[in-house]
Amino acid sequence: MKANNITWHEGKVTKDQRQKLNKHLSATLWFTGLSGSGKSTISVELEKKLHELGVRTYRLDGDNVRHGLNHDLGFSDEDRLENIRRIGEVSRLFVDAGVLTLTAFISPFRKDRDQVRSLFAEGEFIEIHVKASIEACEARDPKGLYKQARKGQIKDFTGIHSPYEEPYTAEIILDTEKNSVDESVDQIISYLKKNHYLSI
Protein backbone atom coordinates (compact mmCIF):
# COMPACT_ATOMS: atom_id res chain seq x y z
CA MET A 1 0.00 0.00 0.00
CA LYS A 2 1.33 3.41 -0.99
CA ALA A 3 2.17 5.71 1.92
CA ASN A 4 0.29 9.01 1.97
CA ASN A 5 1.89 10.64 5.01
CA ILE A 6 5.20 11.64 3.44
CA THR A 7 6.58 15.14 2.81
CA TRP A 8 9.47 16.26 0.61
CA HIS A 9 12.30 17.65 2.75
CA GLU A 10 14.25 20.35 0.92
CA GLY A 11 18.03 20.52 1.32
CA LYS A 12 20.32 23.56 1.18
CA VAL A 13 22.61 22.33 -1.60
CA THR A 14 21.18 22.45 -5.12
CA LYS A 15 21.88 20.45 -8.25
CA ASP A 16 23.35 23.58 -9.88
CA GLN A 17 25.75 24.00 -6.96
CA ARG A 18 26.86 20.38 -7.25
CA GLN A 19 27.41 20.78 -10.97
CA LYS A 20 29.51 23.91 -10.42
CA LEU A 21 31.60 22.04 -7.86
CA ASN A 22 32.10 19.21 -10.36
CA LYS A 23 32.80 21.65 -13.22
CA HIS A 24 30.46 19.82 -15.60
CA LEU A 25 26.74 19.30 -16.13
CA SER A 26 24.97 16.16 -15.02
CA ALA A 27 22.72 14.04 -17.20
CA THR A 28 21.72 10.46 -17.86
CA LEU A 29 23.21 8.78 -20.90
CA TRP A 30 20.63 6.07 -21.59
CA PHE A 31 22.13 3.29 -23.74
CA THR A 32 19.43 1.17 -25.37
CA GLY A 33 19.74 -1.65 -27.88
CA LEU A 34 19.56 -5.38 -28.38
CA SER A 35 21.57 -7.80 -26.27
CA GLY A 36 25.00 -7.98 -27.89
CA SER A 37 24.75 -4.59 -29.58
CA GLY A 38 27.60 -3.19 -27.48
CA LYS A 39 25.83 -1.14 -24.79
CA SER A 40 27.82 -2.35 -21.80
CA THR A 41 31.14 -2.49 -23.63
CA ILE A 42 30.84 1.08 -24.89
CA SER A 43 29.56 2.42 -21.56
CA VAL A 44 32.51 0.87 -19.72
CA GLU A 45 35.03 2.43 -22.09
CA LEU A 46 33.21 5.76 -22.06
CA GLU A 47 33.23 5.89 -18.27
CA LYS A 48 36.97 5.15 -18.25
CA LYS A 49 37.64 7.95 -20.74
CA LEU A 50 35.44 10.44 -18.88
CA HIS A 51 37.10 9.56 -15.57
CA GLU A 52 40.50 10.23 -17.13
CA LEU A 53 39.15 13.64 -18.18
CA GLY A 54 38.15 14.43 -14.58
CA VAL A 55 34.41 13.90 -15.03
CA ARG A 56 32.42 12.45 -12.12
CA THR A 57 30.47 9.47 -13.41
CA TYR A 58 28.57 6.39 -12.33
CA ARG A 59 27.55 3.46 -14.50
CA LEU A 60 24.38 1.42 -14.03
CA ASP A 61 24.43 -1.82 -15.99
CA GLY A 62 21.41 -4.06 -16.58
CA ASP A 63 22.95 -7.30 -15.29
CA ASN A 64 24.70 -5.60 -12.37
CA VAL A 65 21.53 -3.94 -11.10
CA ARG A 66 19.68 -7.26 -11.21
CA HIS A 67 22.19 -8.63 -8.68
CA GLY A 68 20.89 -6.20 -6.06
CA LEU A 69 18.24 -3.50 -6.47
CA ASN A 70 16.24 -5.49 -9.03
CA HIS A 71 17.06 -9.05 -7.97
CA ASP A 72 13.36 -9.74 -7.47
CA LEU A 73 12.40 -9.04 -11.09
CA GLY A 74 12.13 -11.39 -14.05
CA PHE A 75 11.79 -10.57 -17.75
CA SER A 76 8.04 -10.40 -18.29
CA ASP A 77 6.74 -7.14 -19.81
CA GLU A 78 5.53 -6.08 -16.34
CA ASP A 79 8.89 -6.81 -14.71
CA ARG A 80 10.76 -5.03 -17.51
CA LEU A 81 8.58 -1.98 -16.90
CA GLU A 82 9.34 -2.01 -13.17
CA ASN A 83 13.03 -2.61 -13.87
CA ILE A 84 13.20 0.49 -16.05
CA ARG A 85 11.07 2.55 -13.66
CA ARG A 86 13.43 1.85 -10.77
CA ILE A 87 16.51 2.61 -12.84
CA GLY A 88 14.95 5.84 -14.03
CA GLU A 89 14.40 6.95 -10.44
CA VAL A 90 17.94 5.95 -9.41
CA SER A 91 19.35 7.78 -12.44
CA ARG A 92 17.42 10.90 -11.49
CA LEU A 93 19.02 10.81 -8.02
CA PHE A 94 22.49 10.58 -9.55
CA VAL A 95 21.76 13.49 -11.88
CA ASP A 96 20.56 15.53 -8.91
CA ALA A 97 23.87 14.67 -7.25
CA GLY A 98 25.67 16.30 -10.17
CA VAL A 99 26.95 13.05 -11.65
CA LEU A 100 27.08 12.12 -15.33
CA THR A 101 25.22 8.81 -15.23
CA LEU A 102 25.60 6.00 -17.76
CA THR A 103 22.84 3.40 -17.95
CA ALA A 104 23.09 0.32 -20.18
CA PHE A 105 19.75 -1.49 -20.46
CA ILE A 106 17.99 -3.17 -23.37
CA SER A 107 14.88 -1.18 -22.34
CA PRO A 108 12.98 -2.52 -25.36
CA PHE A 109 9.80 -0.44 -25.21
CA ARG A 110 9.56 3.20 -26.33
CA LYS A 111 6.83 4.06 -23.83
CA ASP A 112 9.03 2.92 -20.94
CA ARG A 113 11.99 4.97 -22.17
CA ASP A 114 9.72 7.97 -22.74
CA GLN A 115 8.40 7.58 -19.21
CA VAL A 116 11.94 7.75 -17.86
CA ARG A 117 12.69 10.78 -20.04
CA SER A 118 9.70 12.55 -18.49
CA LEU A 119 11.41 12.35 -15.08
CA PHE A 120 14.18 14.70 -16.20
CA ALA A 121 14.51 18.35 -17.07
CA GLU A 122 15.13 19.27 -20.70
CA GLY A 123 18.56 18.10 -21.79
CA GLU A 124 19.17 15.81 -18.82
CA PHE A 125 18.16 12.60 -20.63
CA ILE A 126 20.34 11.63 -23.58
CA GLU A 127 19.03 8.58 -25.39
CA ILE A 128 21.76 6.60 -27.12
CA HIS A 129 20.61 3.97 -29.58
CA VAL A 130 23.32 1.32 -29.84
CA LYS A 131 22.26 0.03 -33.21
CA ALA A 132 23.03 -3.43 -34.56
CA SER A 133 20.89 -5.91 -36.42
CA ILE A 134 19.54 -9.01 -34.72
CA GLU A 135 21.74 -11.03 -37.08
CA ALA A 136 24.89 -9.20 -35.97
CA CYS A 137 23.99 -9.46 -32.29
CA GLU A 138 23.19 -13.14 -32.59
CA ALA A 139 26.49 -13.76 -34.38
CA ARG A 140 28.36 -12.04 -31.54
CA ASP A 141 26.29 -13.62 -28.76
CA PRO A 142 28.94 -12.77 -26.10
CA LYS A 143 26.96 -14.36 -23.25
CA GLY A 144 25.49 -17.27 -25.21
CA LEU A 145 21.99 -15.93 -24.58
CA TYR A 146 20.71 -16.13 -28.14
CA LYS A 147 21.77 -19.75 -28.36
CA GLN A 148 19.90 -20.51 -25.13
CA ALA A 149 16.86 -18.57 -26.31
CA ARG A 150 16.76 -20.49 -29.60
CA LYS A 151 16.78 -23.72 -27.60
CA GLY A 152 13.88 -22.51 -25.48
CA GLN A 153 16.02 -22.28 -22.35
CA ILE A 154 15.30 -18.54 -21.99
CA LYS A 155 11.80 -17.13 -22.40
CA ASP A 156 10.72 -13.57 -23.24
CA PHE A 157 14.08 -12.88 -24.90
CA THR A 158 14.18 -9.54 -26.72
CA GLY A 159 14.61 -9.86 -30.46
CA ILE A 160 13.38 -13.46 -30.54
CA HIS A 161 10.30 -13.87 -28.35
CA SER A 162 9.76 -10.25 -27.39
CA PRO A 163 10.00 -7.14 -29.62
CA TYR A 164 12.60 -4.37 -29.51
CA GLU A 165 11.24 -0.95 -30.43
CA GLU A 166 13.96 1.29 -31.87
CA PRO A 167 13.96 4.93 -30.72
CA TYR A 168 12.39 7.48 -33.06
CA THR A 169 14.38 10.48 -31.85
CA ALA A 170 17.50 9.31 -30.05
CA GLU A 171 20.00 12.08 -29.40
CA ILE A 172 22.85 9.77 -30.45
CA ILE A 173 22.88 6.74 -32.76
CA LEU A 174 25.89 4.43 -32.59
CA ASP A 175 26.16 2.00 -35.49
CA THR A 176 28.26 -0.77 -33.98
CA GLU A 177 28.29 -2.80 -37.17
CA LYS A 178 30.29 -0.02 -38.83
CA ASN A 179 32.12 1.73 -36.00
CA SER A 180 34.56 0.47 -33.37
CA VAL A 181 34.14 0.89 -29.63
CA ASP A 182 36.69 3.73 -29.60
CA GLU A 183 34.90 5.50 -32.45
CA SER A 184 31.60 5.18 -30.60
CA VAL A 185 33.14 6.60 -27.41
CA ASP A 186 34.60 9.52 -29.36
CA GLN A 187 31.20 10.17 -30.94
CA ILE A 188 29.57 10.47 -27.51
CA ILE A 189 32.30 12.69 -26.08
CA SER A 190 32.06 14.96 -29.13
CA TYR A 191 28.32 15.29 -28.50
CA LEU A 192 28.88 16.12 -24.83
CA LYS A 193 31.47 18.77 -25.66
CA LYS A 194 29.45 20.29 -28.50
CA ASN A 195 26.38 20.58 -26.27
CA HIS A 196 28.35 22.04 -23.34
CA TYR A 197 27.92 19.18 -20.86
CA LEU A 198 31.69 19.17 -20.52
CA SER A 199 33.88 22.25 -20.21
CA ILE A 200 37.11 20.41 -21.06
Is the model's pLDDT at 159 over the cut of 80?
A: yes
Is the model's pLDDT at 2 over the cut of 80?
A: no
Q: How confident is the model at residue 200 (pLDDT cuts 50, 70, 90)?
A: low
User: What gap in Å lies between CA 190 and CA 153, rounded to an integer?
Assistant: 41
194 annotated as belonging to a binding site for a ligand: no
144 annotated as belonging to a binding site for a ligand: no
Q: Is 9 a member of any domain?
A: no
User: What gap in Å lies between CA 130 and CA 167, rounded to an integer?
Assistant: 10
33 annotated as belonging to a binding site for a ligand: yes
CATH number at residue 190: 3.40.50.300
Q: How high is the pLDDT of residue 36?
A: 94
pLDDT in tens, 24-82: 999 999 999 999 999 999 999 999 999 999 999 999 986 677 777 778 877 777 887 88
74 annotated as belonging to a binding site for a ligand: no
Q: Is 38 a member of any domain?
A: yes
Q: Which residues neighbour 107 within 8 Å (Cβ) at sequence distance 6 or greater?
A: 30, 32, 80, 84, 113, 116
Q: Is 64 a member of any domain?
A: yes
Element counts in the chain: helices (H) and strands (E): 8, 5
180 annotated as belonging to a binding site for a ligand: no
Q: How high is the pLDDT of residue 1?
A: 63
Q: Is 27 a member of any domain?
A: yes
Beta bridge partners of 54: none
Q: Which residues neighbour 142 within 8 Å (Cβ) at sequence distance 6 or greater?
A: 36
Catalytic option among 26, 43, 107, 184: 107
pLDDT in tens, 69-95: 778 877 777 887 888 888 899 999 999
User: What gap in Å lies between CA 60 and CA 47, rounded to an integer?
Assistant: 11
Q: Is 199 a member of any domain?
A: no
Q: Is 61 a member of any domain?
A: yes
Q: Is 50 a member of any domain?
A: yes
For residue 47, give its domain range: 23-133+163-194
**Considering only 19-23, 157-161, 195-199, which range has the smallest mean pLDDT?**
157-161
Is the model's pLDDT at 118 over the cut of 80?
A: yes
98 annotated as belonging to a binding site for a ligand: no
**Is residue 107 among the annotated active site residues?**
yes
Is the model's pLDDT at 134 over the cut of 80?
A: yes
Domains identified in the chain, total number: 1
